[in-house]
Structure 1
Amino acid sequence: MKTKVLLFFLFVSFQSLFSQEIQGSWAGSLSIQGTQLPLVFNIQKNGDLYQTSLDSPMQGAKGIPIKETTFANNELQLAAPNLNLKFSGHFNGTSIEGIFVQNGGSIPLVLTRKLNDTPVLKRPQEPKPPFDYPIEEVVFVNPKDKNTLAGTLTLPKNKKDFPVVILITGSGVQNRDSEIFGHKPFAVIANDFAQKGIGVLRLDDRGVGGSSKGTPEDTSASFATDITAAVDFLSAKGFKKIGLIGHSEGGLIAPMVVVQNTKVQFVISLAGPGITIDQMMLLQSQSIAKSQGATSAQIEASTAFNKKVYAYIINYNGSNLKADFQPYIKEEFIKLTQKQGLTETQIDEFVAQQTRSITSPWYVYFLKFNPELYWSKLKIPVLALNGSLDLQVKATENLAGIQAYLTKAGNKKATIKELPGLNHLFQEAKTGSTAEYSTIEQTIAPVVLDTMSNWILGLK
């Protein structure tokens, strides 16, 4: 969920670079939904060949490789087929003016030579050393998938018999701080909890930091085995009051782990799904489209298209999903965009990109997932939180679903709260739009930190 938004911002615009001597770094800002997203293109020359990488400082992304770079007659061409990206730009002597194209959409960008360091983002809650509590770097192996997991264990000072929580990231590959848009929410939580008497284990996802790479076949079920291994790791160290805190997809993984591992004593869901994923995704796309100014007719048409796509994936029982899905989505996409005058190339690019994404094992598993299967089995204490301005996992519907499933389980230890004025990242927001995430200096609202810690420390 979260990562889909990241990919949209990071890869829905690009642009140009170069001069008679184009080596070096070129910076510019994309205007997306009223928000400026800085990008830096780093150009190097190796013999007669150019190599380019992309940085997105606001998102904490560096060194993203651009596969193809050509520069001739002051014209720059960039392409990253794996990301379905293309860029064409013209060097005019002082800047590079160009257009970034992805999936038929284009955004202009003007780049100038980067002379100074990118301004440091203001993130006042980010913890800074020295720290007055114990911090341990840990490494252990998931015995099921044999992958190595690395993380940081923070513990309260001079305390015994305290609760310890494992933090679970949302969709996409993230480091142990759950770093996004320059924010490090898991580092903020760990620092806050350690000072209040709660231990925290936060982990690098597969393929990030010190954790070993995953496989193309990984799904949420695979990631659940990582968290189960983390629970067993803490238990082997002698901890007994072990809980889970999952954000977004992490809020889906947490109840899966509880069903598998009886050592977990409590769960906190931060914007976790409480309805079927296809329903959640439809509500998400409608809310985000509305926030971006889409008309009712546009939202209705895209909703109908998405419903068909989701239903095809969920109900498919053939032997080659990718091969069968591609002509289907192309036919439906042509119907949806027949008045937009898209070229055959633009249509094929969209179809290829969507086919790769939607038929991936992770996406198929995610789309078919039904949270009821797990929430309805939980009898341990549960705290479920959502922000009222969350456009990605709508608070009303998802909290109601979690409440209903826990009631079905006979769970009398559940607390369900909708927190006013907070977005999907639990920042104090104005609209909840995804465009606000990077511009808000606050990483996580204090009310969320206090609500979680007070609830944990109040458990009997």
Structure 2
Amino acid sequence: MQSFIKLVFKLAFLLGTLVASAQDVSGTWKGALSIQGMELPIVFNISQTDDGYTTTLDSPKQNAYDMPTDKTTFAENKLTITYAQIGMEYNATYEDGAFKGTFNQNGQTFPLELKKGKKEPKKIKPQEPKKPYPYAVEEVTFINESAGDIKFSGTLTIPANVKNPSVAILITGSGPQNRDEELLGHKPFLVLADHLTRQGIAVLRYDDRGTAKSEGDFSSATSFDFASDVEAAMAYLQTRKDVVNVTKIGLIGHSEGGLIAPIVAARNKNVAFCVLLAGPGVDGQKVLLTQGKRAAELEGYPANDIAASQEASAKIYKISANYQGEASKKEMIAILEDLKTKITSEKGKAELTDATIKKQVEVFTAPWMRTFLGYDPQVSLVKVNCPVLAINGEKDFQVLPKLNLDAIKKGLQHNKDVTIKEFKNLNHLFQTSETGALSEYADIEETFAPVALHFVSEWINARF
């Protein structure tokens, strides 16, 4: 009898092994998230090991590939993949040859179905320059002594056959950005730096603090901290008389970078020029209110939802700009809970969950946001005396062109060398676009419209 029982157990074990083998989930699994009207492809590359499974994550539209996740488990047809660095967890059930589940990231939850497919190679956008470059390229580092000796890593490109060229420091937009300002498959600052250097202008671009190869803590920093990082970059260039003209150091800032550049120029009279690419001219509350309204219109939200959201947002922004600790957090939660009762669209209701409310409060009580919402760019613009070029795209929904360009012009009315330009059909990234919506960014092959690139380089070269 015992031998028979042992045989049964052996058979059961063998059958279990065969079933597990039949459900081997190794391979490439593809799906797409729907975020603000944009389809964002997600790819999990699952490999079987002696200890179970490992997974890498691809986000093709963001040009991000082979990101190693932390843990993958698959048991009883249940798959869980976690990636703590980006606050992500995917939970799904295997059925009918597919994984059906939810993708959770930082308090937001999205349905995500994965089907098996083939791994695709990384795609290169047409404007991305290819080596060898017709100019010198140096990998450099510099220190911000005023911020605990944070070490920054960057790239200095130097034009060929140009003695003592002018030099531009590129300043990224909001959020942790690498030196190429890489997003959604595009590298705007790589394209911009390549163009400028080919036109005889040296360029220094660097990874934001706490990002890529730069040290420091990004999460606790504000626009004023980033301004001190720019000043550290200027101090470094002052030591490079061997390759650039240290009296012709200018700043080119995109989006938030267009807020930071005037802050630096206002307190450093040795800034030779400023180029503001879709930079804000009004305070952060107006920027985000107008941005939110236009984004919602582009994504087709009903008018009553937009109006309710605008009213709630205005209250939250004001509280954030005048933050009073826990009392402010409670006020924000109450406003968002009230907003939940006023939203009528299914899409709006699905996006305003308890988890997203918690995350929104975290975002709007963070140091960067409180500073951004409470700062008026006019404070620095009225003190900027160097030549300034401010450009924007007609279809920019993030920093509305007329509102912000008019405000920049007002703040610089004392300045004798100011150029203001709005480009037809260009969006926030200076791509030629149909509507300017976020959902178009990744699908547009153009990274930076040549008409805008040439306008910037010609403006600089006409003065230096």
TM-score bracket, normalised by the shorter chain, equals 0.7 to 0.9
1:56 aligns with 59
2:25 aligns with 22
2:119 aligns with 116
Taking the TM superposition and a 5 Å limit, the aligned residue runs for 1:39-438 are 39-43=42-46, 52-62=55-65, 70-78=73-81, 87-100=90-103, 107-118=110-121, 120-145=122-147, 146-214=149-217, 216-238=219-241, 239=245, 240-316=247-323, 318=324, 321=325, 323-338=326-341, 347-407=353-413, 410-438=414-442
1:12 aligns with none
Over 3 Å counting, the alpha-carbon distance change for 1:220 and 1:39 in structure 2 is same
Instruction: Give the superposition deviation at 1:231.
Output: 1.0
2:13 aligns with none
Q: C-alpha separation between the residues in 1 aligned to 2:54 and 2:309?
A: 38
Q: C-alpha separation between the residues in 1 aligned to 2:224 and 2:107?
A: 34
Matched residue type, 1:27:
K
Instruction: Give the superposition deviation at 1:359.
Output: 1.1
Instruction: Give the superposition deviation at 1:413.
Output: 0.5
The C-alpha deviation readout for 1:202-251, integer Å capped at 9, x for no partner, is 11111223211325421111111111111111122122211100000000
1:451 aligns with 455
> Given that residues 168 and 250 in structure 1 are in contact (C-alpha distance below 8 angstroms), is that contact kept between their aligned partners in structure 2?
yes
The C-alpha deviation readout for 1:78-115, integer Å capped at 9, x for no partner, is 56688665544221252212233568875433312343
> Given that residues 28 and 119 in structure 2 are in contact (C-alpha distance below 8 angstroms), is that contact kept between their aligned partners in structure 1?
no
Matched residue type, 1:414:
V
Q: C-alpha separation between the residues in 2 aligned to 1:68 and 1:301?
A: 41
Give the SS at the match of 1:265: coil
1:13 aligns with none
1:4 aligns with none
Over 3 Å counting, the alpha-carbon distance change for 1:339 and 1:139 in structure 2 is closer
Q: C-alpha separation between the residues in 2 aligned to 1:288 and 1:56?
A: 23
Matched residue type, 1:123:
K
Sequence identity of aligned pairs in percent? 42
The C-alpha deviation readout for 1:273-316, integer Å capped at 9, x for no partner, is 10011011000000000000011111100000101101111223
> Given that residues 392 and 422 in structure 2 are in contact (C-alpha distance below 8 angstroms), is that contact kept between their aligned partners in structure 1?
yes
Q: Which runs of 5+ in 2 are unaligned?
A: 1-20
Over 3 Å counting, the alpha-carbon distance change for 1:412 and 1:191 in structure 2 is same
> Given that residues 333 and 361 in structure 2 are in contact (C-alpha distance below 8 angstroms), is that contact kept between their aligned partners in structure 1?
no
Matched residue type, 1:109:
L
Over 3 Å counting, the alpha-carbon distance change for 1:132 and 1:103 in structure 2 is closer
Over 3 Å counting, the alpha-carbon distance change for 1:263 and 1:358 in structure 2 is same
Give me the CA root mean square deviation: 2.8
Instruction: Give the superposition deviation at 1:339.
Output: 5.9
Instruction: Give the superposition deviation at 1:375.
Output: 0.6
Q: C-alpha separation between the residues in 2 aligned to 1:440 and 1:215?
A: 29
> Given that residues 84 and 353 in structure 1 are in contact (C-alpha distance below 8 angstroms), is that contact kept between their aligned partners in structure 2?
no
Deviates more, 1:27-36 or 1:233-242: 27-36
Give the SS at the match of 1:401: helix
Give the SS at the match of 2:145: coil
Give the SS at the match of 2:404: helix
Q: C-alpha separation between the residues in 1 aligned to 2:361 and 2:55?
A: 27
> Given that residues 135 and 160 in structure 2 are in contact (C-alpha distance below 8 angstroms), is that contact kept between their aligned partners in structure 1?
yes
2:14 aligns with none
> Given that residues 19 and 91 in structure 1 are in contact (C-alpha distance below 8 angstroms), is that contact kept between their aligned partners in structure 2?
no
Q: Which runs of 5+ in 1 are unaligned?
A: 1-17
